[in-house]
Chain A
Amino acid sequence: MLKYTLKRFFGTIPTLFVIITLSFFLLHAAPGGPFDMERAMPPQIKANILKMYHLNEPVWKQYFLYLGNILHGNFGPSYVYRGTTVNDLIKQGFPVDLIVGGFALLGALLIGIPIGIIAALRQNSPWDYGPMAAAMLGLSIPNFVAAPLLILAFAVALRLLPAGGWAGGSPLFVILPAVSLGLPLIAYVARMMRGSMVEVLNSPFIRTARAKGLPEHTVILRHALRPALLPMVSFLGPAVVGVITGSIVIEEIFGLPGIGRFFVNGALNRDYTLVMGVTILYGMLILTFNFIADVLYGFLDPRTRHQ
């Protein structure tokens, strides 16, 4: 198991390296630069600025310079947000995304999994049709529609929750963004859980368990649950991606100080270091969660463990 874990861990490093390299060169291949303004600045000044940020060097030289910096954990200065480093911006914004996304994902798993299991056990009954129809609805409503509706209901009409803002992450301000982000996710998780549970319940080893005369709760909890949860574990990696990319819209609607807006603005302004920093952060996040999912998978499935 340790060997398997280590193997998986070291497998992520080359991937991260590829992400860094590809995005670096793609970004620099895009036309324009961070200091190309509509109004041309005096060539002398521009040359000085470019020199300061080493932008006058050949791209490959910039690349190795950058690689050296990030190996020291330094993502460099932001070109557009003057006087702040990318590290500062991430340190400021990332916890916001982490809290909102984390609660959305946790809530989706805690609510979606039981709904899916119940629907599978009560297949083709109101307990199945009801939640699955609701899930379909939840999936079809994009969060830029759901979020304003939630604001209307809970902030404007009922005056229970704030309509936006962050207030340093006080719990009341987290609820609505997390719910809007989590709603489609609950639906997705519930549908997926139902599907895998139905499949497992039809497998031969469940029939064997019943033929042995095991009580139904043992059949479900001991024999069916673990294999049914496996697809959920593999889903964990992509789910994190979904939560983060989805959060850009949510941040905008609720006016959250997350990093989503830095990502978008950074890309528009050719703020090389900022975009690279956020990209690497997202990449690392995805790799980390895929790594966790892999290890969990190995823990749950003895066949992976032995290979």
Chain B
Amino acid sequence: MAAFLEIRNLSVSFTTPDGIVHAVNDIDLDLNEREVLGVVGESGSGKSQFWLAVMGLLAKNGRAEGSVKLEGEELLGLSHSRLNRLRGEKMTMIFQDPMTALNPYLTIGRQMTEVLTSHRKIKRREAERRAIEVLKAVHITGAEERLGMYPHEFSGGMRQRVMIAMALLADPKVLIADEPTTNLDVTVQAQILALLNELRDQFGTAIVFVTHDLGVIAQIANRVVVLYGGRTMEQARVKDLFAQYRHPYTEGLLYSVPRLDAVRTERLVTIAGNPPDLARLPPGCPFAPRCVYVEPRCRRQMPPLEAVGPDHLRACFHAGDLGRLQAAT
């Protein structure tokens, strides 16, 4: 499996009245064809901004540095027209809130077919036929009539299906899904996850799944990247991450997930402290102020990302075993 998306030293910063905010700091990442990559982190971890930067969708005060190569072509600094050709056609992104992510003033049909008509020399009729096909693939019944309807005539789950269908219309190589199930209820969330899994097999699209929910990652991803303070903490195959996590932050995340099979303790374990202030990041590891394994050098120097097993990377100085959180429960 060759990496068709190669991201090197990607940093994202924003100029704000409070100073420069470093949302993403020097992250490397590869994405392989047909894989489902989970990207986990809490609010402010930089997980969304990282992918917005890859898509060239940063807010106006945002700046991306480093290198993003899609099939060998550098995306950062690419002309608008070339970038627009790649967006939609090669890579596409869907967002958290399906209520607001669709244009309320245009019919679903219009919003779907324009993806094709703006990229290819294709007749409206033909584009509509294709739109109906993809709507069927995301299990929307009565697709023909639905084309003439407006977003407010759909439920939340249906809208997210429409978003997914719209994203897959032009057969992109990668679909970046930024918290696509966060605002949906659990049943609908499960349906959407099942759908994404199904579509990956059917369309052969690689999926990047950005979420704060490890439970979702366990259900869908092949590989996981854990981000904190705009840096990679740990990166592993999904089963390795859950079975043999090697980073204190991952441990914190895992133990803060409520479990039905564990012995009931009085309180859910939480990670003490608050997410870092990205305008005033400490010089060393961003997690150091909250880490129970912290060593003096953690506060001076960012630990390098190093291999700790096959396809398993982590950025941490701590040499001994983890498990203090387990002992605490």
Contact = CB atoms under 8 A, between A and B. Distances in A.
Interface of A: 123, 203-205, 207-216, 218, 222-223, 226-227, 300-303, 306
B4 interface: no
Contacts of B259: none
A209 B80 contact: no
B55 interface: yes
Interface stretch (B22-30, B98-106, B231-239, B276-284): B98-106
B87 interface: yes
A208 B103 contact: yes
8 contacts: A207-B57, A211-B92, A214-B118, A222-B106, A223-B103, A227-B105, A302-B105, A303-B150
B152 A303 contact: yes
A301 B94 CA distance: 24
B105 A226 contact: yes
B74 interface: no
B104 A212 contact: no
A123 B60 contact: yes
A207 B95 contact: yes
Given A213-B85, A222-B106, A302-B150, 9 more contacts: A123-B60, A211-B88, A211-B94, A214-B88, A215-B118, A216-B80, A227-B105, A302-B105, A306-B152
Nearest to A224: B103
Contacts of B171: none
B42 interface: no
A215 B81 contact: yes
Contacts of A214: 84, 88, 114-115, 118
A204 B183 CA distance: 14
B92 A212 contact: yes
Contacts of A204: 95, 97, 100-101
A261 B84 CA distance: 59
B152 A213 contact: no
A302 B152 contact: yes
A279 B13 CA distance: 59
Contacts of A212: 87-88, 92, 114-115, 118, 166
Contacts of A222: 106, 114
Nearest to A123: B60
Given A213-B85, A214-B84, A216-B80, A205 B102 contact: yes
Q: Which of A215, A227, A302, A306 has the most CB of B within 10 A?
A: A302
Q: Which of B80, B81, B84, B100 has the most CB of A within 10 A?
A: B84
Nearest to A206: B103
Nearest to A226: B105
